[in-house]
């Protein structure tokens, strides 16, 4: 799911190259509007992915609590122990996914800013 959601980030350079006109075509396309639209799309994607990852973390953490309670009730149940380890691993992976998301967001924002700096400066990117 995240791979699909990150496809826009993977194609940001292509999107910028096809959206931002060269000097000879600047009169035909409004680069400010294009950059603003791309930024809004990026922001929406960032927020959706962040929310999806955090929702998964919450669900997994709740499931982990349930499994810990089940383990406390029957500490010798192998299936509960196996499920507990599986959920712990899943939670660690999801937490590391937040770090990956930060890297993806930083890389995409950098590419965006390099190309759109002359045309549109969103408040969150102004330095």
Would you say residue 5 has pLDDT above 80?
no
CA angle 18, 107, 56 (to 5 degrees): 110
Structure tokens of 124?
């969150």
Is-contact 22 100, C-beta < 8 A?
A: no
Predicted confidence at residue 88, as pLDDT, reads 96
Structure tokens of 95?
């937490």
Q: Per-residue pLDDT tens for 102-122? A: 999 999 999 999 888 888 888
pTM of the entire predicted model: 0.78
Angle, nearest 10°, between helix axes 12-19 and 78-116?
30
Domain boundaries, the chain: 2-18+30-116
């Amino acid at each position: 799911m995240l791979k699909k959601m990150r496809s826009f980030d993977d194609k940001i350079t292509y999107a910028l190259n096809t959206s931002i006109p060269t000097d000879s075509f600047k009169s035909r396309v409004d680069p400010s509007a294009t950059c603003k639209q791309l930024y809004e799309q990026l922001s929406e994607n960032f927020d959706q992915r962040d929310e999806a990852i955090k929702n998964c973390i919450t669900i997994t953490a709740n499931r982990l609590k349930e499994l810990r309670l089940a383990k406390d009730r029957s500490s010798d149940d192998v299936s509960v122990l196996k499920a507990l380890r599986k959920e712990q691993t899943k939670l660690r992976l999801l937490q590391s996914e937040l770090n990956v998301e930060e890297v993806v967001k930083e890389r995409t924002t950098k590419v965006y800013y390099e190309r759109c700096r002359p045309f549109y400066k969103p408040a969150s990117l102004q330095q």
